[in-house]
């Protein structure tokens, strides 16, 4: 593997790691519907604002989301909604694995 390959796979891993939390996957799903304020996202998950902000910060650092300040509120949206195609692929894999596990019984 070349250094260029190593860098490419490291960057991919950083994005996947940033997605690898149930709350962050939930946020991605909600943001796929349109931009949301931090407060709206907090209400949806029932976490304190610092926890929500930390999750959003991880996602922003990985380039998954972008933020926009409007007045005294911050709104988030998906940077590239096509990332939901990856999530849909995961859903297909989950369903196929479930079918295989049932057929193995």
Structure confidence at residue 99 (pLDDT): 83
Say what the pTM is: 0.88
Helix (H) or strand (E) holding 30: helix 22-31
pLDDT averaged over every residue in the chain: 94
Dump pLDDT digits (tens) for 70-102: 999 999 999 999 999 999 999 999 999 888 777
Phi, psi torsion values for 29, nearest 5 degrees: -60, -45
Report all structural domains of the chain as residue ranges with CATH numbers, in order of start.
Answer: 3-79 (1.10.10.10)
Q: Which two tokens stand for residue 101?
A: 């596990």
Q: Which range (36-45, 54-63, 95-104) has the least confidence?
A: 95-104
b/e map 62-82, b = 16+ CB within 10 Å: bebbeeeeeeeeebbebeeee
56 has pLDDT over 70: yes
HSE at residue 63, side-chain half, CA atoms within 13 A, is: 9
């Amino acid at each position: 593997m070349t250094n260029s390959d190593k860098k490419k796979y490291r960057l991919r891993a950083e994005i996947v790691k940033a997605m690898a939390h149930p709350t962050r996957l939930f946020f991605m799903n909600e943001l796929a519907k349109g931009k949301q304020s931090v407060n709206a996202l907090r209400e949806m998950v029932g976490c304190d604002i610092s926890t929500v902000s930390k999750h959003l910060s991880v996602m922003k650092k990985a380039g998954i989301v972008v933020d926009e300040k409007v007045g005294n509120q911050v709104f988030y949206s998906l940077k590239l909604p096509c990332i939901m195609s990856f999530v849909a692929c995961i859903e297909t894999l989950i369903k196929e694995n479930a079918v295989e596990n049932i057929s193995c019984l």
